[in-house]
């Protein structure tokens, strides 16, 4: 039993069952971290769900949910009869050592009442997270002055990128 806990600490495979963070998100974060640190490389096979359950001492449901999301986000690929592998297309995922000290991206929308604003933000946030960035969304209420204010604040906070949907100033 002692060897198992030492092994968990050595591999940073610790799941905090008392955390407010759902178990599947903890598993997902651990695997993403292992990919970003190079512990898992492109093409490497990921342990089977049953093995991950034993490794993390949790039930299969959170492991399965984490794996499905990692496949959906492009980190992993599943091949029927062979297993789950780290994606061969990880060009957009930078190792932690190469990431900016402030991995922040900003999104400025003219208004939030347009039906597609939520879809834009959801897609923006998902793709940014997949690439290791945090996001901040701002609503300019269709005011050019507000847009300038948000752009300035994002630049001051060293945002690595800003996506602007300019207001219609006609």
86 bridge partner residues: 76
Residues 11 and 81 reside in one and the same domain:
yes
Residues 57 and 10 reside in one and the same domain:
yes
What is the domain count for the chain?
2
The Cα 136–Cα 32 span in angstroms is: 21
Residues 116 and 66 reside in one and the same domain:
no
Residues 79 and 105 reside in one and the same domain:
no
The Cα 38–Cα 32 span in angstroms is: 10
Which residues have C-beta within 8 Å of that of residue 106, sequence separation ≥ 6? 135, 136, 137, 138, 150, 151, 154, 159, 161, 162, 163
Query: Please, which pLDDT band fits residue 61 given cuts at 50, 70 and 90?
Result: very high
Residue 81 located in a structural domain: yes
Examine the fold and report which residue of 86, 108, 134 is the final residue of a domain before the chain moves on. Answer: 86
Q: Span 142-156, mean pLDDT?
A: 87
Residues 110 and 70 reside in one and the same domain:
no
What pLDDT score was predicted for residue 11?
A: 44
Instruction: Supply the range of the domain harboring residue 104.
Output: 100-164
Give the CATH number for residue 113: 3.40.50.2300
pLDDT-wise least confident of 3-7, 95-99, 157-161: 3-7
Q: Span 69-94, mean pLDDT?
A: 82
For strands 134-139 and 104-109, give the pairing.
Answer: parallel
8 A C-beta contact, residue 28 and residue 73: no
Q: What percent of the chain has pLDDT over 90?
A: 23
What pLDDT score was predicted for residue 76?
A: 93
Examine the fold and report which residue of 86, 111, 133 is the final residue of a domain before the chain moves on. Answer: 86
Examine the fold and report which residue of 57, 86, 115 is the final residue of a domain before the chain moves on. Answer: 86
What pLDDT score was predicted for residue 120?
A: 84
Tokens of 111: 């208004």
Specify the higher pLDDT residue, 62 or 110.
62
Give the CATH number for residue 23: 1.10.10.10
What pLDDT score was predicted for residue 90?
A: 64
Q: Span 52-63, mean pLDDT?
A: 94
Looking at every residue in the chain, the average pLDDT score rounds to 81
Closest CA to 164 of 154, 102, 123: 154
What pLDDT score was predicted for residue 96?
A: 46
Residues 61 and 36 reside in one and the same domain:
yes
Residues 56 and 107 reside in one and the same domain:
no
Residues 17 and 77 reside in one and the same domain:
yes
Query: Which pTM value belongs to this model?
Result: 0.51
What pLDDT score was predicted for residue 116?
A: 74
8 A C-beta contact, residue 24 and residue 69: yes
Q: pLDDT by residue (tens digit) across 94-148?
A: 544 444 566 888 988 887 766 677 788 888 888 888 777 888 888 888 888 888 8
């Amino acid at each position: 039993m002692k060897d198992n806990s030492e092994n968990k600490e050595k591999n940073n495979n610790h799941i905090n069952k008392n955390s407010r963070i759902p178990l599947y998100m903890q598993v997902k974060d651990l695997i993403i971290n292992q990919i970003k640190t190079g512990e898992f490389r492109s093409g490497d096979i990921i342990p089977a769900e049953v093995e991950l359950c034993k490794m993390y001492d949790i039930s299969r449901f959170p492991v399965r949910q984490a794996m499905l999301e990692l496949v959906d986000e492009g980190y992993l690929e599943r091949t029927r009869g062979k297993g789950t592998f780290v994606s061969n297309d990880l060009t957009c995922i930078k190792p932690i050592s190469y990431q900016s000290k402030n991995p922040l991206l900003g999104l400025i929308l003219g208004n939030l009442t347009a039906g597609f604003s939520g879809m834009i933000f959801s897609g923006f946030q998902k793709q940014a997270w997949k690439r290791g960035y945090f996001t901040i969304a701002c609503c300019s209420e269709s005011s050019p002055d507000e847009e300038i204010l948000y752009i300035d604040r994002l630049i001051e906070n060293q945002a690595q990128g800003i996506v602007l949907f300019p207001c219609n100033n006609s």
